[in-house]
Chain A
Amino acid sequence: MKKEIINLTVNGTLHEISVEPQVTLNEVLREQLDLTGTKLSCGAGECGACTVLIDGKPELSCCTLAMTANGKDILTIEGLARDGELHPLQKAFVECGAIQCGFCTPGMLLTSKALLDENPDPTREEVKSYLSGNLCRCTGYVKIVDAVLAAATEMNKGGK
């Protein structure tokens, strides 16, 4: 099928990319831009491991045709740390031990970022509800929820 040129702003950098219609955003990120922090796991919109922020909203890169992301602003896990410093959510995940194998972590972090952007002071229940579309087979979720709450507290103090 005919290739088309699309423009994607990924982690602040504008890319002009040539894609065929059936190529997903997940494939573009991983295979054309080498941003392999975004995972492909279930491929069916069940697990959230492929989550990226598109125009600030958490969406599934495995269910998004790259063509439909044309002109949009995409944040992947590679863009979360700034100037070599981890985002407060990343620090909290490390400090709270919210990571085991790490496969779900990029999706967890980006969904958590979307949550805190929307609701800077969530309750435990709100965190659990917001992260319900992100599956983790290792941690049992308790420490992940702890970490998001810890990051919220830290960010509300004005810490970076």
Chain B
Amino acid sequence: MFRTLKPFGYFEPKTIEEAIGALSVHGAKAKVLAGGVDLVPRLRKRQAHPEYMINIQQIEELDGIIKETAEGLRIGALASLRSIELSPLVKKNYFVLHEAIHSIASIQVKTQGTAVGNLCVATPASDVAPALLVLDAKFRIVGPSGEKTVPAENFYLGVGQTVLQPNEIITEILLPKPQAKTGGAFLKLVRTAADIAKVNAAATLTMADGACKEARIAVGSVATTVLRVKKAEGVLKEQKLDLKVIETAARAAAEEVKPISDLRSTAEYRKETTRVLVKRALEKALERAKA
């Protein structure tokens, strides 16, 4: 660890167009800076070597506004994790996202760090991403050729890799309207509260006439990306959800994941913990869907 950072050029675009222009010129030599809680430590550890820093915090078209729209909820790219956690709209209609951010320990990191930044880092241990996957989030992306919308589940390619090109930025997170009789839950297993997840799991269940109409389950830290476990979801669909069905789905989830062994856990332990967390998250989501 070094105390100081290596020199780089610094640019504060005022418009998205200026930012995209600068990113198009400098390509992979440039880094986008928002909250800085991930990027600045990596600069200090010499894990990132940008020649140009593009600070997007001063772009007038970007904001951190969280508001209801005709389609659902819109979260601006500059919204801090903390502002999303505390948002009454998020707490009321997208509780699983509140719960996921609440589980992140440091108030300082959440005050400074943005949800979009967390997504773009593309760590498979993200707590935010599984919640957004089960909420069916989409990301609005702007690049040189215009705007597009990418579903959260198509966003990740691998560890630290996303579909985002070096000259594109995410401008908004979009969440669809919550359906009636839907419950969600987020759970994680960590060594200490401040550590990153050994395994995390998010689930949402939509019930109708006593049966499961829709199930979404996403897990983190158990593959190269955060992922949905669709076989497990399939087990639940159109079923009356009793403990046996939930247990079968949890086992299916554990079969679908491909964890590694590292200093935080062995692969075997992560598989077993996936089963337990998915089971508990489904039980909790079911309870909330009924409430």
Interface residues of A (CB under 8 A from B): 1-2, 4, 20-24, 27, 40, 42-46, 48, 51, 57-60, 62-65, 67-68, 111, 114-115, 130, 132-133, 135
Task: Tell me, rounded to whole Å, the shortest Cβ–Cβ distance linking A5 to chain B.
Answer: 13
* Complex contact A21–B36 (CB within 8 A): no
Give the residue name and chain of the A residue nearest to B45 (CB). Answer: A44
Q: Provide the bound-state CA to CA distance between A60 and B35, in Å.
A: 10
- Min CB gap B197→A, angstroms: 15
Q: Is the CB of A22 within 8 A of B36?
A: no
Contact with A along B1-42 (1 / 0, CB 8 A): 111111111101000000000000000000001011100110
Q: In the complex, are the beta carbons of B7 and A132 less than 8 A apart?
A: no
Q: How far is the CA of A78 from the CA of B291 in the complex (A)?
A: 50
Whether B5 contacts A133 by the Cβ 8 Å rule is no
- Per the bound structure, the CA–CA distance linking A67 and B52 in Å amounts to 14
The secondary-structure label for the interface of chain A is mixed
> Which of B1, B3, B12, B106 lies in contact with A45, CB distance below 8 A?
B106
Question: Which among B8, B108, B193 has the greatest number of chain A C-beta atoms within 10 A?
Answer: B108
Instruction: Report the nearest B residue to A52, measured CB to CB.
Output: B108
Q: Chain B's nearest CB lies how many Å from the CB of A69?
A: 11
| A31 to B: closest C-beta gap in Å | 10
**Contact residues in A for B118 (Cβ distance below 8 Å):** none
- Is B108 touching A22 in the complex (CB atoms < 8 A)? no
- Which chain B residue lies CB-closest to A48? B108
Cβ-defined contact, B107 with A130, below 8 A: yes
CA separation between A132 and B53, bound complex, in Å? 30
Which chain A residues lie closer than 8 Å to B35 at the CB level?
63
A133 to chain B, nearest CB (A): 3
Most buried by A among B9, B10, B53, B194: B10
Q: How far is the CB of A73 from chain B (nearest CB, A)?
A: 15
With A and B bound together, what is the CA distance between A130 and B37 in angstroms? Answer: 18
Among B36, B57, B107: residue with most chain A CB under 10 A:
B107
* 7 A-B residue pairings within 8 Å (CB atoms): A22-B7, A24-B40, A45-B108, A60-B37, A62-B40, A133-B106, A133-B107
A111 and B108: CB pair below 8 A?
yes
Q: Which residues of A contact B7 (CB under 8 A)?
A: 1, 20-22
A65 CA / B56 CA spacing, docked (Å): 13
Q: Does B162 contact A (CB under 8 A)?
A: no
B103 to chain A, nearest CB (A): 11
Contact assessment for A114 and B40 in the assembled complex, using a CB-CB cutoff below 8 Å: no
* Inter-subunit contact B107/A22 (CB<8 Å): no
Partner pick for B1 among A44, A68, A133, CB 8 A cutoff: A44
* Distance to closest chain A CB from B65 (angstroms): 17
User: How far does the Cβ of B137 sit from chain A's closest Cβ, in whole Å?
Assistant: 25
Contact B194 A46 (CB under 8 A): yes
Q: Which residue of B lies closest to A26 (CB)?
A: B3
Of the candidates B10, B12, B35, B106, the one having the most CB atoms from chain A within 10 angstroms of its own CB is: B106
